[in-house]
Amino acid sequence: MGEQKKPRKYATMKRMLSLRDQRLKKKDRLKPKKKEKKDPSARKGREVPQHPSCLFFQYNTQLGPPYHILVDTNFINFSIKAKLDLVQSMMDCLYSKCIPCITDCVMAEIEKLGQKYRVALRIAKDPRSELLPCTHKGTYADDCLVKRVTQHKCYIVATVDWDLKRRIRIQKIPGVPIIYISNYRYNIEQMPDDYGTPRF
């Protein structure tokens, strides 16, 4: 008679000794952790986020004419589709001088889109707009705009992107208004009532 075949065991692990096993030498054993007793008389510290001095509650004192507006890539594209002049429509919306600010990341994003978006590139290179240099790594425009807005509260963000809007609102960056496009014109949300700005 032949040998009986045993079924093969799958996913079996090699048995290992625990580091707390008694058969190990004392120097190889894992030392038991000692629980630190908390001092009840010690004060509990809590972290309070630092707020910039330019904000008085939701009132941003750094916002004032001429307004510096950070422009996103899709905002330029949607402005072209709606046949809106960038600077003139911003002035119609805010009733004062506006300077569109375009970061290196936004410019790189428009250049990556290729020949189809050459009109958007020409609008971005308009001499009326200001080009802001970027020092960080990568060319992701949303991260760049959010970082710049958290550092400096003197900008208004112009975007149609829901993700970017949500990031600015969820991260609770106070005092930063958003310009968006609706009904073939520019609209602004959450503009503080300073410097005689229009009320909506």
pLDDT in tens, 109-138: 999 999 999 999 999 999 999 999 998 888
Comparing 151-155, 168-172, 180-184, 189-193, which segment has the lowest mean pLDDT?
Answer: 189-193
Residue 173 lies in a domain: yes
Q: How many CB atoms lie within 10 A of CB 109?
A: 22
- Range picked from 90-104, 127-141, 177-191 for highest mean pLDDT: 90-104
Compute the mean pLDDT over every residue in the chain, rounded to the nearest whole number: 82
pLDDT at 59 > cutoff 80: no
Residue 97 lies in a domain: yes
Confidence class for position 72, pLDDT limits 50, 70, 90:
very high
Residue 38 lies in a domain: no
- Give the domain range for residue 174: 67-189
Confidence class for position 98, pLDDT limits 50, 70, 90:
very high
For the record, the structure tokens of 197 come out as 């700005």
Integer angstrom CA distances of residue 78 from 21, 86, 100, 119, 185: 68, 10, 15, 12, 11
**Predicted pLDDT at 18:** 76
* Residue of 50 and 168 predicted with greater confidence: 168
Residue 27 lies in a domain: no
Residue 142 lies in a domain: yes
Q: Where are the alpha helices (DSSP H) in 54-161?
A: 73-81, 86-94, 104-113, 118-124, 141-151
pLDDT, mean of residues 142-157: 90
Residue 82 lies in a domain: yes
Q: Looking at residue 77, which CATH number applies to its domain?
A: 3.40.50.1010
Please tell me the pTM assigned to this model.
0.68
30-68 per-residue burial string, b: 16 or more CB within 10 A, e: under 16: eeeeeeeeeeeeeeeeeeeeeeeeeeeeeebbebeeebb
Residue 90 lies in a domain: yes
Q: Is 22 helix (H, G, I), strand (E, B) or coil?
A: coil
**Predicted pLDDT at 49:** 63
Domain count, the chain: 1
Residue 30 lies in a domain: no
